[in-house]
Structure 1
Amino acid sequence: MEDRKLTVRAVERALDILMCFTKNHELALTEISSLIGLHKSTVHRLMTTLEEKGFVVRDSRTDKYRLGMKIWELSTHLSHSDDPAVLLLPAMESLRDRLGETVSLYLRDGAERIRIQAVQSNQAIRRVAQVGTRLPLSVGASSKVLVAYASPSDQEELLNLPNWPDVVDKEQYRRQLVEIVEKGYAISIEEREPGAAAVSVPIIDRSGKIAAALSMSGPVNRLSAETLREYAPVLREAAREMGLMI
């Protein structure tokens, strides 16, 4: 029984290490040790095994680690039959071509949102959205859409998390959530990122639940509040059609 517990613990620690790379492209041994709270010698043993199996690669010049090809190999075997990032990509590309700005797709994961798909604007000056980026739910148009269409219990759980930012007024945030549901969209101007503006709408699946948040974003010199509101109906119609696909 004890051996089994130790084995499970080792697996959990190895997975914790891999999850460190969701926010970092490269990491040194000391950085990984600090992130997961384990001694360097323990991390080194785990990294050695992960490296031997191809899940991480060590750069001998910088002595830093990055994800290995084995991760990519596993990802190629994922089923894409019901993956919104794959199913909705053509519609997102069509929306980008129509509006001329970057289009992104977000899912909620606990107290964060993840950008699972993005179609970059073709304009010279554009907002580049990286797939896989994790962002807080306290700010941003897509964040508020994902929270606004969550259940009341989920909303309260999020707002009462210990790490909820003190600078974000909870009562004002709750009022914003009500307004978003009433309007069917949310906008943000330099709320999370200087120089960037966005409008986001919910994608409601065939069961009537929110499946994702669809967002269009770009530089503030092209996207005023008035322009974002004008684009909102276009996004809502696109999201309605996307909802029929999932």
Structure 2
Amino acid sequence: MRVVNSLVERCFAVIELLASEASAMRLGEIAERLNLQKSAAHRMLTTLCEMGWVEQESATGFYKLTLRLAILGQRFLRATHISDVCQPVLEDLAAESTELVRMAVVQGETLTWIAQVQGARNGLKYQPEMDAKVALAITANGKAYLSTLNPTDAIRVAINDSVSDGQKRSVVSVEPLMEEMKRSQQRGWAISNEEAEPGVVAIAAPIKLASGKTVGTVSVAGPSTRLTSERHEEIAASVMSAAGKLGELWPLRQQAGG
């Protein structure tokens, strides 16, 4: 159960909740999930409907997001020119690995998925939903990002991420997590071996600028039957190479916008 306070926070809490659900939600469920009085939740929803962010189904009276948030998100992503600059590198990595390639960007102290390219052409294909937020403690991308932080910050960020939005994601205990971060930092890449999803292996590397700042991560993921231990070093080398190219290309986004 999540507690929200200010008017602005309440509005964003409603939007975030509706964005996490594929179907429309009833007023009572929204109020309960956000620990709000029904009357307060109804006022928020009425305001958001008037502003065009939310719509109420005439048949059921349930509430759901309009496409306004998705449209603005796509508009912002186009304005960053990330896809224009980075897409060819992701496509090359997908073709080389013949597996799914994904890229995430750093947003505050979290990671957000923004792009993916499917490299598998035949057989079993790993095609997860593109949930916006990356689970930091259990995914390869999350571990790659955490490995760029100092140990104290890495633990704090991982713990905060595990309990955010009321989710009950388990976090690896401190000592194993610190050992994992140390290994990832030393070799330059991180791995999630069926931790985030059963039967799936992912290998990721941080995307860094020349200044050393980490701006994102890139990964290759696929079924464990194909991404066997014998392939880990080979895939990791390709992922780190792609991460290096992305780091070099990243500043060109501003030029593409000009």
* Structure 2: distance between partners of 1:239 and 1:86: 16
Asked if the contact 2:151/2:178 (under 8 Å) is kept, the reply is no
Q: Which residue of 2 aligns with 1:13?
A: 10
| Closer, same or farther: CA 121–43 of 1 in aligned 2, 3 Å | farther
- Structure 1 contact 54–69 (Cα < 8 Å) conserved: no
Q: Take 2:205 and 2:114, find their aligned partners in 1: how far apart are those partners?
A: 15
Q: Following the alignment from structure 1 to structure 2, what is the Cα–Cα distance between the partners of residues 84 and 150?
A: 24
Tell me how many residue pairs correspond in the alignment.
239
Q: Partner of 1:89: helix, strand, or coil?
A: helix
Q: Does the residue aligned with 2:249 lie in a helix, a strand or coil?
A: coil
RMSD of aligned residue pairs (Cα, Å): 2.6
Distance (Å, rounded) in 2 between the aligned partners of 1:45 and 1:232 = 51
Gaps of at least 5 residues in structure 2 are 251-258
Tell me, in whole angstroms, the C-alpha distance in 1 between the residues paired with 2:183 and 2:93: 25
Change (3 A) 1:185 1:34: same
Structure 1 residue 233 corresponds to structure 2 residue 237: yes
Distance 2:249 2:205 in 1: 16
1:28 aligns with 2:32: no
* Partner amino acid, structure 2, of 1:128: Q
Work out whether residues 137 and 171 of structure 2, in 8 Å CA contact, stay in contact via their aligned partners in 1: no
Q: What TM-score does the superposition give when structure 1 sets the normalisation length? A: 0.84
With the length of structure 2 as denominator, give the TM-score of the two structures: 0.81
CA distance in 2, matches of 1:215, 1:86: 19
Q: Please, which moves more after superposition, 137-146 or 110-119?
A: 110-119
Out of 51, 60, 67, which is 2:65 matched to? 67
CA positional deviation for 1:138: 1.7
Structure number with greater CO (CA < 8 Å, separation at least 6) is 2
Which position in structure 1 is the counterpart of 2:254? none
Equivalent-residue separation in structure 1 for 2:20 and 2:44 (angstroms)? 20
Contact conserved, 2:207 with 2:243, CA < 8 A, in 1?
yes
Which residue matches 1:3? none
Equivalent residues of 1:32, 1:43 under 8 A apart: yes
Equivalent position to 2:94, from 78, 93, 96: 96
Match of 1:214 in 2: 218
Q: Is the 8 A contact 1:196 1:219 kept in 2?
A: yes
SS at match of 2:115: strand
Measured after TM superposition, the shift of residue 79 of structure 1 is 6.5
Question: 1:136 is paired with a residue of what secondary structure?
Answer: coil
**How far 1:222 moved relative to its partner?**
1.0
1:11 aligned partner, one-letter code: V
| Runs of 4 or more above 4 Å deviation | 108-112, 159-167
User: Counterpart of 2:124?
Assistant: 125
Residues 79, 111 of structure 1: alpha-carbon distance in 2 compared, 3 angstrom cutoff: closer
What letter is aligned with 2:40?
A: T
Identity, % of aligned positions: 27
Gaps of 5+ in 1: 1-7
CA distance in 1, matches of 2:192, 2:37: 42
TM-superposed deviation, 1:81: 4.8
Q: Is the 8 A contact 1:102 1:129 kept in 2?
A: no
Q: Which residue number in structure 1 is paired with residue 54 of structure 2?
A: 56
Superimposed CA distance per residue, residues 170-214 of structure 1 (whole angstroms, 9 cap, x where no aligned partner): 111101111111111112221121111111111112321111111
Structure-2 separation of matches of 1:45 and 1:186: 46
Instruction: Give the equivalent residue in structure 2 for 1:140.
Output: 139
CA contact (8 A) 1:141 1:199 kept: yes
Deviations 1:108-128 (A, max 9, x none): 456653222222344342111
Pick closer, same or farther for the CA change 1:89–1:57 going to 2, 3 Å: farther
Select between 223-232 and 164-173 the one with higher mean Cα deviation: 164-173
